[in-house]
Structure 1
């Protein structure tokens, strides 16, 4: 029975992909995990491996065609089975896609993707040595950036000793050595971004190569020199300077006569995403309107003998402003990703914020009374975070919509309450996730918070520990702020900002109805929520239950 090969999902927010190149043709023998075709999505270009060994049967989707994830694109026949139908060039494209070019025609999208992937191809296995490769730090991760080498050529390396640091779309991590020996060669220098499974260094295998590491391979073809006397750049030079984008984005731009150089990219390293090009189009940028505008600037009566308006005078070039004094430093990979994620979230979710004032006096007194004995008894400090987390879990149980997420035109009601805890690092921000918090008691939550925070600062988190969150807590109150308006961590529906804890004068009413002024410990909490699925009433009820749980604390802290 044939194995169906589908368009994979290359990330939580990816819903479609474009087949840029078939690496095999019907009838070819295919090994398991052998690259089968190349795809380009709104965020990544990648080679897709075969899920099974056999013979490539029918190609159902032609090169250049964009299809939804999980669409069957081809079949793999068992060895010995008859070859299936011919290439997809003969098959009609789906009605909702543009006419696909013939399978043996190199489209611009295919050429661009091929050149990028070719430049990042893994190096051959080193003779007698152990290759160190760029690891895959999660299912949707296809590349990583080497941010720092922790060893130099000639250094002795122990097995499992950290050898270099990487930064990916989702995590920063130290990568341990797979073997003990001497670092004999560094193939990829710091700052280079390469595909997963690319050989980046070699342990053992001969004399150390002390030469400086080779520069990162370019992702575009070499630009030939201009012909003598030319005043115009070559086509190759223009192609090399164009903004980063996917074939899907370039197709949309071509169909709408948009110059991508005029579109701001919000993706990693300035990559233009599908949302960027659509937002540009919705903004009303119409290149076709330019000629009319130019004609309107010509004074009345200024026409040529043929009746054609004469060209307007070229305006003087504005004087370039002198740069501000100071240092211009490129964004780190993590900072670039954070910037992209924040812009994406604000563009995706209509943010609404509500602020509640909570009387924490009862909890402050309990903590002061128990913190010394608690740490001695349990080996962990008693902070306010587990109190807040337990109150959030209580409120999320009562109001599951706040723990939900939008998936297309539907709402996902998550079964588990996976709490993300924002951790400030010297080099950025990361949100490790504590899974299934509804099954943990107070002490379990307290230990988990300390554990993930320490490992986040030590770059020891696993990829699955920073994904899968359903609700996030961010505590900026430790820096003294009263309250903030945090940005939602996509694709979640809400985030809770924790403000500073301060003593304030409050008006209290006693049992006889008399008002008195008392000094209380007050803290403000801000719920930022996605108004597409969480109404103001839902947010108010959630925060009321959250507030009541803290002000009337009765839970055993262990």
Structure 2
């Protein structure tokens, strides 16, 4: 038997409600196949099976609440059916001289002992739009004991860092991905030998033997010295699964064999993409990552060692890599990366972070797909400055934090978007999806890079509520405590480069949105103002130049400018009680 646990679907998510069972009792299920849908207070998602077999039990009915780490379902594996098929009286006479008392307890433990597939800890779905993550830190080393729900590693996605918890209690037998490697949702992260499977295993599997190679044949031969225990079986009789001491290495080999994805070389998606770009056959690359997985560095070494031959002899790469003439691959990789003439220029190779790679891909894709155009207006914030000062004085008396200009501009933008819904939308070739609420993305500068959390239903919030929501979500993002759901379903974005001194703010559209408002710094300028008697004069005023960048496929320039002018009009005519 193997348990399918309720995974952690976000840092702050502690429970979920079973909304629909996708597999009924008696149905067959494969590893990674969805068995039910679970609804939380933030997102609906499918829960995937961590083991292949038949659904034997549904622990919760539809509509019931399940805590994180609780058992959702029980799956019967193929191994569970093996022991009952063997008559118990037969082995006893043969094994009497050796271990007469042992067969009964061993056969009872057999299902757990041989549930190698149940020992996989899979990469969970960390958000509706999250399809992969990068292993940032291993919190448990090979040989460490782990409990169900105990964190074994940290995974970084393009949106959030989170801890991955073990779904099996036992000993960490294998780390299938090294730190820095990319793992797809549903892929195995680690192998854990179930505690109940060990029995007399400690003597048969000393600490040094937990490490296995990526070669299934090598893994199969690793426990060869323990083979003499197996001949206790009766000639001509079917082998009894789990009838002797638990074979630790063989169990790992079985799991690894299942994790090789039907003969495909075990390589991270990033390594496969790089191999395609460099014309390298991943089947010819030797992996040095966890579980023998192929990393980007392995592909780069392979490309630099064999620049002209896509399929060299098997023994040649090792000879080239160990040649004393070229102890490190940097010179070759430098030639491949930099243009001619830079060979003798000193440089520092700084690894690109996951956030930076995702941001780069997202920005290039946006530039390539959307027809970018920017319209700008100058806004006199003199009157709003007085209103803000009055509000902040009142807030200070009650011990509240001061409001910046950002929530005022955000509130004015939300009001304008309600009158110009084409800018709060998503453009598709055949249609424009107008969203009925403003989910406002706020670009936040963090130590990890630029991130854009979302304030949901921003059009319903007052200035003070918006101010609290923006401060709260920005703090969670900077502290690494944001949920994946904090970044989901934004419909319009505000970028604030003025916070670091920018005087102009055209931005790149945050796909799949069609508009982004750039907010530069406020500059005091000589400005023509109209006095109460209608006369004009020159005065020093706080001026901001708002920049609305929009997708010209979805919106015409005149419509976008009218929306931005509406933002300006609201800001310049702001009263003390407006939008409170």
TM-score normalised per structure 1: 0.56
1:406 matched to which residue of 2?
Answer: 427
Is 1:189 aligned to residue 178 of structure 2? yes
What residue number does 2:118 align with? 125
CA shift at 1:143, angstroms? 2.8
In 1: Cα distance, 2:399 partner to 2:169 partner: 41
Residue in structure 1 matched with residue 159 of structure 2 by the alignment: 171
Separation in 1 of the partners of 2:476 and 2:451?
11
Counterpart of 1:31?
28
Query: Deviation digits for residues 108-164 of structure 1, max 9, x if unmatched?
Result: xxxxxxxxxxxxxx97334xxxx7542211234343211123566788999988664
CA distance in 2, matches of 1:390, 1:514: 32
The answer to whether the aligner puts 1:339 opposite 2:365 as a matched pair is: no
* Structure 1 residue 392 displacement after superposition: 0.6
Structure 1 residues 164 and 438: alpha-carbon distance in aligned structure 2, compared to 1, 3 A threshold:
same
Q: 1:199 to 1:336 in 2, by over 3 A?
A: closer
Q: Deviations over 1:350-390 (max 9, x none)?
A: 10011211111222222233325425637444222210110
Which among 147, 154, 163 is matched to residue 136 of structure 2?
147
Secondary structure at the aligned position of 2:517 is classed as strand
SS at match of 2:520: strand
Does the 8 Å CA contact 1:361/1:520 hold for their aligned counterparts? yes
CA deviation after TM superposition for structure 1 residue 546, in Å: 0.2
Matched, 1:482 2:503: yes
Work out the number of aligned pairs and report it. Answer: 369
Q: Does 1:497 align with 2:518?
A: yes
Name 1:42's counterpart in structure 2. Answer: none
Q: 1:329 & 1:475 partners in 2: Cα distance? A: 27
Map of 1:511-530 to 2, 5 A cutoff?
Answer: 511-530=532-551
1:355-370 correspondence runs (5 A): 355-370=376-391
Following TM superposition, by how much is the alpha carbon of 1:345 offset from its aligned partner in structure 2, in angstroms? 0.2
Q: Distance in 2 between matches of 1:203 and 1:386?
A: 52
Q: Deviations over 1:239-291 (max 9, x none)?
A: 99998469xxx9xxxxxxxx9859xxxxx989xxxxxxxxxxxxxxxxxxxxx
Contact 1:185 1:202 in 2 (8 A): yes
Distance 1:501 1:533 in 2: 30
After TM superposition, list the pairs within 5 Å mapping 1:83-162 onto structure 2: 124-126=117-119, 132-150=121-139
* Equivalent position of 1:538 in the other structure: 559
Q: How far apart in 2 are the matches of 1:424 and 1:215?
A: 42
1:106-505 to structure 2, matched below 5 A, reads 124-126=117-119, 132-150=121-139, 164-168=153-157, 170-175=158-163, 177=165, 187=175, 188-197=177-186, 198-200=188-190, 205=195, 244=272, 261=279, 321-374=342-395, 377=398, 379-505=400-526
Structure with the higher fraction of residues in helix conformation: 2
Query: Which string of whole-angstrom CA distances, capped at 9 and with x for unpartnered residues, describes residues 390-413 of structure 1?
Result: 001011011001111112321111
Q: Per-residue displacement from partner, 1:51-93 (whole Å, max 9, x unpaired)?
A: xx99xxxxxxxxxxxxxxxxxxxxxxxxxxxxxxxxxxxxxxx
Are the structure 2 counterparts of residues 319 and 459 from structure 1 closer, same or farther at C-alpha, using a change threshold of 3 Å? closer
Structure 1 regions of 5+ residues with no counterpart? 1-28, 38-47, 55-121, 219-235, 251-258, 263-267, 271-317
What is the CA–CA distance in structure 2 between the aligned matches of 1:335 and 1:213, rounded to whole Å?
35
TM-score in terms of structure 2 length: 0.54
Report the secondary structure of 1:499's partner residue: coil
**Which residue pairs with 2:79 in the alignment?**
none
Hey, what's the Cα distance between the residues in 2 that align with 1:335 and 1:260? 21
Q: Distance in 2 between matches of 1:49 and 1:340?
A: 32
Contact 1:423 1:430 (8 Å CA) reproduced: yes
Matches of 2:213 and 2:453, distance apart in 1: 31
Task: For residue 535 of structure 1, report the CA deviation from its aligned partner.
Answer: 0.7
Shift of 1:340: 0.6
Cα offset, 1:464, TM superposition: 2.2
Cα pair 2:149 2:165 within 8 Å, conserved: yes
Distance 1:240 1:384, change over 3 A: closer
CA distance in 1, matches of 2:155, 2:347: 29
Q: Say whether the 8 Å CA contact 1:159–1:176 is kept in structure 2.
A: no
Q: Would you say the 8 A contact 2:271–2:296 is kept in 1?
A: no
**Alignment deviations for residues 164-205 of structure 1 (CA, whole Å, 9 cap, x no partner):** 43223x423121646999985662431122233424375994
Structure 2: distance between partners of 1:383 and 1:412: 32
Q: Compute the RMSD of aligned alpha carbons.
A: 4.7
DSSP-derived class of the 1:125 partner: helix
Structure 2 counterpart SS, 1:389: helix
Give unpaired runs (5+ residues) of structure 2.
1-25, 35-47, 55-114, 216-263, 281-294, 298-338
1:441 CA displacement = 2.2
Instruction: Supply the distance in 2 between the matched residues of 1:430 and 1:421 (Cα, whole angstroms).
Output: 8
Contact 1:359 1:522 in 2 (8 A): yes
Q: Is the contact made by 2:426 and 2:512 (CA closer than 8 Å) also made in structure 1?
A: yes
- The whole-number CA distance in structure 2 between the counterparts of 1:203 and 1:378 is 55
Q: What secondary structure is seen at the aligned counterpart in 2 of 1:468?
A: coil
Larger radius of gyration: 2
After superposition, what is the alpha-carbon deviation per residue over 1:458-498, rounded to whole angstroms, capped at 9, x for unaligned? Answer: 22222222120110001000111101221000010100010
- Note closer, same or farther for the CA distance 1:210–1:328 as it changes in structure 2 (3 Å cut): farther
Q: Greater shift after overlay, 497-506 or 324-333?
A: 324-333
